[in-house]
Structure 1
Amino acid sequence: MRDKSDKRLWTLSIVGCVIVVLTVLFVSVKIETNNTKNRIHSTMEYIKDQYSMYNSFNEAVEARSLVRMVEKVQQTARNFKTDKQALEKEYLKQYAREQRLTGIIVLNDKNKQIAQYHTGPRFKKVLGYVMEKETLRDVKNYPQKSYMTRIELKNGGYIDLASYGRKDAKGTVIGYQYVKTEYAKNNNLTIQNVLAGYKRENDGTIVITNGNDIIASNDEKLIDTKVQESCKNIDE
């Protein structure tokens, strides 16, 4: 009888220990899961704030650059008014060098190109843009109006462009500056900087996308890949 009581007691003790261990394990997993969720949430909120700062910084840099571009084109237009030989190529070359422009395009009142100077390979792209954008050419009708824009290129570079009404005759002066990829990266805070310091081993895999493509990640192999394909690879 006593043996049966002892066995029952041992059985209850073992069951009790198992229950305690399972309870501790469950609570530990729950706590760790909550900690992980909180850490992920905190990381995402921080990255979101950094990304917002990244956008604000680059927008400010771009705005300053475009304002300077307008000032350069306005000065070129004033030069045309005081110099009768301004439309000759050598003079355009001189103006471009003085204002650090990649190219200058001059249109008459019929939007026909009557003079131009450029260096580098981007002239056709710029001219195509000029002919496409009526608002760019429309500044000739409004003496105080100017047009400015940045054309992003697939290679990571960009073209800053501005237009202004001519002062010597009715027409439009367009100036632009081509910034190569390596200089563009130096001028702007790159989105990859937002993820600096995040290690996959500690923080997991973090990606920033534009919807279809991964544009930044703490796993460099994922950068410039498709979101759908990369997610499949991560799952595997």
Structure 2
Amino acid sequence: MARKNRTTPDKRIWTAYLIIGVLLMAGVAFFSSWRAMRTAEERFCQTLEFVKSQSTSFEKHNDTITAKALRRTAVAAHQLAENPALDLSDPQCLNRQTEKLWLTGISVLGPDGTLRCESTTNGIGYDRFGDQLKNDAVLDVLSYPRKTYVKRVLLEDGSAVDVAAHRAESTELLLLAYRYTPAEFVEETALSIQSILDGYPAETSGTLFIVQNNQVVAANRPELIGQDVAGSPLAQGIRKAGAAEKLTHTRDWNGSGCYFGMFCHGRSFDLYAYTDEKIIFREALLLILTVLVGYILLVMILQLLRRRSAQEMELQKKEQERKYQTQLEEQNRKLEIALQHEGRQTAPSGSSCSI
């Protein structure tokens, strides 16, 4: 019966330990997961904000360089248009003006946009870049003599052509003045956004990439450059958050794996960041395991203390029983001695003799 009574409190204590442990681990798991996501969100926000500011500065710098080049070309186009001695039908005359104004070439277009005459110094002519010009906008210059159309045309090899269009004086012809810049010089004078992302290793900072016109133009993982994000499960998963700089769950490029990512808007681009959820919850898992081990150790210590306390109480109880038994034996011994003594005193007086 006593054993059964001891077993019942033990079951209750272990049940209490289990309930407290489950509640504790649930609380720790919730808090650590929430904290891990907030930390990842803050880290991504800081990274995206810095990359966005740097990229915007780079774009402004590059736009300034392009604007200066286009302005110089526009000035040359004005000089050509205002030159009364310029023969727009003589390639040799155009060639002399090309060398004088440090131009790559001069093209003369008719009112319908067809090429009438041209002079070029390196073979780069109207046929190389004409298709990339907005014909309606270019020809619109003919209706406004003081208007100038300028544009930087990027060729397929990375080189650039700075074009300026202006109406020739007292004619219905359009003058195109242009300068060609080789690809290597374009790269040297322009700041590359890619150089910013190269400073963020994907293993520690997550994957970062910049999108323009649904194409990845820069990334800290080279294999992503050129990817189309229009049908990407990853980009669509990040976009489903509906708001910039908000962490959301997504999938990898091929729709597999579990990731967290966010996006933000730049000056003329969108910037994305994502990382594997295992990396985000790695510290949270470590905290959960630490708390679990700590709780198990605490339960073991409590049980050890409880067992020692029970043993001490048992020893005290046995000691009290021993003392009580000793006192009882001593009292019995004294009582027996007293009875024996009393028996000796009453024996003579109780005897009688008759004569």
TM-score normalised by L of structure 1: 0.78
How far 1:123 sits from its partner (Å)? Answer: 3.1
Unaligned runs of 5+ in 1: none
How much identity, in percent, do the aligned residues show?
26
One-letter code aligned to 2:220:
N
Please tell me whether Structure 1 or Structure 2 has the larger radius of gyration of its CA atoms.
Answer: 2
Residue equivalent to 2:147: 145
Q: Which has the higher contact order (CA 8 A, sep 6+)?
A: 1
How far 1:177 sits from its partner (Å)? Answer: 1.8
Secondary structure of the residue aligned to 2:118 is strand
Residue equivalent to 1:210: 212
Residue equivalent to 2:107: 105
The two structures, once aligned, show a CA RMSD in angstroms of 3.2
How far 1:139 sits from its partner (Å)? Answer: 4.0
Match of 1:60 among 47, 54, 64: 64
TM-score normalised by L of structure 2: 0.55
Match of 1:160 among 159, 162, 176: 162
Once residues 166 and 107 of structure 1 are traced to their aligned partners in structure 2, the CA distance between those partners, rounded to angstroms, is: 10
Match of 2:73 among 69, 78, 99: 69
How far 1:32 sits from its partner (Å)? Answer: 1.1
Residue equivalent to 1:124: 127
Once residues 213 and 139 of structure 2 are traced to their aligned partners in structure 1, the CA distance between those partners, rounded to angstroms, is: 34
Cα gap change, 1:121 to 1:143, in 2 (>3 Å): closer
Once residues 220 and 129 of structure 1 are traced to their aligned partners in structure 2, the CA distance between those partners, rounded to angstroms, is: 28
How far 1:15 sits from its partner (Å)? Answer: 3.9
Secondary structure of the residue aligned to 1:156 is coil
How far 1:112 sits from its partner (Å)? Answer: 6.5
- Equivalent residue runs for 1:36-51 within 5 Å: 36-51=40-55
How far 1:214 sits from its partner (Å)? Answer: 1.4
Unaligned runs of 5+ in 2: 235-252, 258-355
How far 1:107 sits from its partner (Å)? Answer: 4.6
Once residues 136 and 210 of structure 2 are traced to their aligned partners in structure 1, the CA distance between those partners, rounded to angstroms, is: 35
Once residues 221 and 171 of structure 2 are traced to their aligned partners in structure 1, the CA distance between those partners, rounded to angstroms, is: 56
One-letter code aligned to 1:233:
N
Once residues 204 and 222 of structure 2 are traced to their aligned partners in structure 1, the CA distance between those partners, rounded to angstroms, is: 16
Residue equivalent to 1:175: 177
Contact 2:77 2:177 in 1 (8 A): yes
One-letter code aligned to 2:37:
T
Deviations 1:8-56 (A, max 9, x none): 3244234424433442233222211211122223333333333433433
Contact 1:54 1:194 in 2 (8 A): no
One-letter code aligned to 1:154:
E
Residue equivalent to 2:30: 26
Equivalent residue pairs, number = 233
Secondary structure of the residue aligned to 1:81 is coil
One-letter code aligned to 2:66:
E
